[in-house]
Structure 1
Amino acid sequence: MTRFLQFHVLTPYPPSNPNRDDQGRPKMAHLGGAPRLRLSSQSIKRAIRVSPEFAAGLSGHRGERTKRLGDVILSHLEQQDTPAEKAAKIAEQVAAIFGKLDKKADKAQLATLAFISPDERQLALDLADRLANGEAIDENALKKLVLRHADGAVDIAMFGRMLADAPDYNREAAVQVGHAITTHKAMSEEDWFTAVDDLKTREDDAGAGHIGEHGFGSGVYYLYVCVNVDLLIENLQGDRELAARGLEALAHALATATPKGKQNSHAHHPRAAYLRAELGAQAPRDLTGAFFKAVGGDDYLGSSIERLEDMAKKLTDVYGPACDDLRILNILGSKTVTLKDIAAFAASAANA
């Protein structure tokens, strides 16, 4: 029976703009008829992947999302003193395993981003060496020599990938990440700012050297994340120890990582105020319904925690227990577990 590890996270953000739309303003969504600020699923997954927790705990087990594998192969072959024309041709041939090449690019760059594991990166370089040494390899066999259905790339195992030109090597995401939305009504604001030219004298012009504007907003965000633990282990070739390390890093990142848009302008470094981790074989369910009616009053954080716990209780009363075991971090509670406890609980899911 499939086991699910689910996270429900409430994080208060100060005035900031961590995830912008095409006009530079904070992204928005409407829920229950009220405007909310939003952090996209994509931006959250990116923040998790590049977080210090992933870097420290999963070194050598993180993929690269890039169009530039051909550049890596070309540089590798040049270091082996492969003739330039031959190296360029091989770089194109090997890079094309991951997708169509960009015909407008000067070098062998892909037209779209490909999520490449460390194992596949090394296999691509090995294949390039074989071709450079004159080995004859059937064109139809190239993908099988490089692409993998499963390996040790934890972020690919978690968030999946799609290779349009090699769909047999797509990987189904073991971790579903929702869009984070404010639990209350929230709108973006506009900051009109000026900048002074330090070398301009009053005699030249007393006005500003630059004027501009940018958007920002603040609020308490709810985020829902669901992990199919069995699929994660399968995507990692059955490596439970690596899956446990990945889940531990994920728990830490959910509490501490954030999209970094405009971070130098706003210094937003929030931490989760509430994190509910649930483990069991029961069907997943999110708790967004707690906030279809926007939270009001003057205590958004406290009221959001109350709403979330009340919705969890009501669903349990009707549908039965949502999990076999859970841990709750609540900075407003009189008794709470630590982030270290949550991370250890998440890691245990891989060995349950």
Structure 2
Amino acid sequence: MTTFLQLHLLTAYPPSNPNRDDQGRPKQALVGGAPRLRLSSQSVKRALRLSEPFRQGLAGHMGQRTKFIAKDVLDHLIAGGMEPAQARIRAEEIAKVFGKIEAQNKKRPDEMQGTTLAFVSPDERGFALALADKALAGEEMPKDKDLAKTVLRTADGAVDIAMFGRMLADNPDFNRDAAVQVSHAITTHRAVAEDDYFTAVDDLKRDGNAGGAHLGEHGFGSGVYYLYACVNTDLLVENLGGDKELAARGLRALVRAIATATPSGKQNSHAHHPRAGYVRTELGSNTPRDLTGAFFAPVRGDDLFDASARALERTAADIDRAYGPACDAHEIMDVPKGLGTLAEIEEFAASALVRLDG
């Protein structure tokens, strides 16, 4: 049976704008008929991938989202002595396994990039450059599907690709299903974006006029956000080629990152660096369930954080009563109440791999 690791987090954000919409304002959502502030799933996942727990804890096991893998191959071929025009042909022949390559830009002829972002693992980048070395040695390139099989993998040591998946439209056999699902984070209470009107003063202005040399505005908001994530630990191990030790490192890194990382929009203006104040971690083989329903009726009161935590616990208990236990075991860190530590949550999460052995 599949073992699921589920994470429920509450994090209090100060006035900030970590994830902007197309107008530069904080993203929002209407939940239960009430306005909320929102952090998109995509922005949260990028924050996780770029966080220190991921970069330090999983060094050497991280992929790259890029349009420029073809440029890497091109530069490698030219550095190896191949004539630029021929190198471009060979680079496109190799890198096309990750997606179509844009036509050469006449104004920037040295550029070479794909039409879409590709999620490339360290192993796959190495295989692509190894093919480039064969091209430099005058060897023929594999054709079509054989080329894809030479470069691409359905499982390897890239933890972020194993967790968050990828799609290769031109080589769907090498798509990877995401082992980690991440929700959009929403405020547990009513919250709307506010407008900040600001000025900048010219330091060298000496005419006695103290008025601003620049006028502007930007949006911000604050609130207690609920974030949910679900990990299919069996799929995570499968995506990592059966490496349970690396999967456990990945789970520890994920827990630490999701509790401490944040989208970085307008961070220099607001210095938002919040940490989760409440984390509920669950392990079990029952069907996953999120607890967003706890907040369809907006939380109210003088202490929105405590009210949010209690609403979360009540909803978990209510669902367990109606459907039966949603998990086999759970661990809680409640900072205001002095319960639990993040280190304990990390170890609890990693114990999911022990359950697989069992």
Question: What band does the TM-score fall into relative to the shorter chain?
Answer: over 0.9
Secondary structure of 1:137 counterpart: coil
Letter aligned with residue 16 of structure 2 = S
Secondary structure of 1:327 counterpart: strand
Secondary structure of 1:318 counterpart: helix
Aligned to 2:211: 207
Secondary structure of 2:351 counterpart: helix
Residue 38 in 1 paired to residue 43 in 2?
no
Letter aligned with residue 343 of structure 2 = K
Aligned to 1:165: 170
What CA deviation, in whole Å up to 9, does each residue of 1:216-258 have, x standing for no partner? 0000000010000000000000000000000000000011000
What CA deviation, in whole Å up to 9, does each residue of 1:101-137 have, x standing for no partner? 1226443310010000000000010011112221112
TM-score by length of 1: 0.97
Q: Distance in 2 between matches of 1:316 and 1:7?
A: 16
Residue 312 in 1 paired to residue 343 in 2?
no
What CA deviation, in whole Å up to 9, does each residue of 1:10-59 have, x standing for no partner? 00000000000000000000100000000000000000001000011100
RMSD: 1.1
Aligned to 1:151: 156
Once structures 1 and 2 are overlaid, which stretch shifts more, 96-105 or 188-197? 96-105
Q: Distance in 1 between matches of 2:20 and 2:162?
A: 27
Q: Distance in 1 between matches of 2:345 and 2:159?
A: 19
Aligned to 1:98: 98
Work out whether residues 160 and 174 of structure 1, in 8 Å CA contact, stay in contact via their aligned partners in 2: yes
> Which of these residues, 340, 343, 350, is aligned with residue 343 of structure 2?
340
Secondary structure of 2:156 counterpart: coil
What CA deviation, in whole Å up to 9, does each residue of 1:149-173 have, x standing for no partner? 1100000000000001110100000
Q: Distance in 1 between matches of 2:259 and 2:142?
A: 48
Residue 277 in 1 paired to residue 281 in 2?
yes
Distance 1:83 1:104, change over 3 A: closer
Aligned to 1:54: 54
Secondary structure of 1:112 counterpart: coil
Aligned to 2:301: 297
Work out whether residues 187 and 225 of structure 2, in 8 Å CA contact, stay in contact via their aligned partners in 1: yes
| Cα deviation, residue 206, structure 1 | 4.3
Q: Which consecutive segments of 4 or more residues in structure 1 shift more than 6 A?
A: none
| Cα deviation, residue 80, structure 1 | 1.6
Q: Distance in 1 between matches of 2:39 and 2:236?
A: 24
Work out whether residues 131 and 141 of structure 2, in 8 Å CA contact, stay in contact via their aligned partners in 1: no
Aligned to 1:78: 78
Q: Distance in 2 between matches of 1:123 and 1:104?
A: 24
TM-score by length of 2: 0.96
| Cα deviation, residue 333, structure 1 | 2.0
Aligned to 2:5: 5
| Cα deviation, residue 138, structure 1 | 3.3
Q: Unaligned regions of 5+ residues in structure 1, if any?
A: none
Letter aligned with residue 351 of structure 1 = V
Letter aligned with residue 129 of structure 1 = D
Work out whether residues 10 and 224 of structure 2, in 8 Å CA contact, stay in contact via their aligned partners in 1: yes
Q: Distance in 2 between matches of 1:331 and 1:206?
A: 46
Q: Distance in 2 between matches of 1:152 and 1:313?
A: 38
Once structures 1 and 2 are overlaid, which stretch shifts more, 2-11 or 191-200? 191-200
Work out whether residues 333 and 340 of structure 2, in 8 Å CA contact, stay in contact via their aligned partners in 1: yes
Letter aligned with residue 9 of structure 1 = L
Secondary structure of 1:151 counterpart: coil
Letter aligned with residue 246 of structure 1 = G
Q: Distance in 2 between matches of 1:88 and 1:110?
A: 13
Once structures 1 and 2 are overlaid, which stretch shifts more, 134-143 or 116-125? 134-143
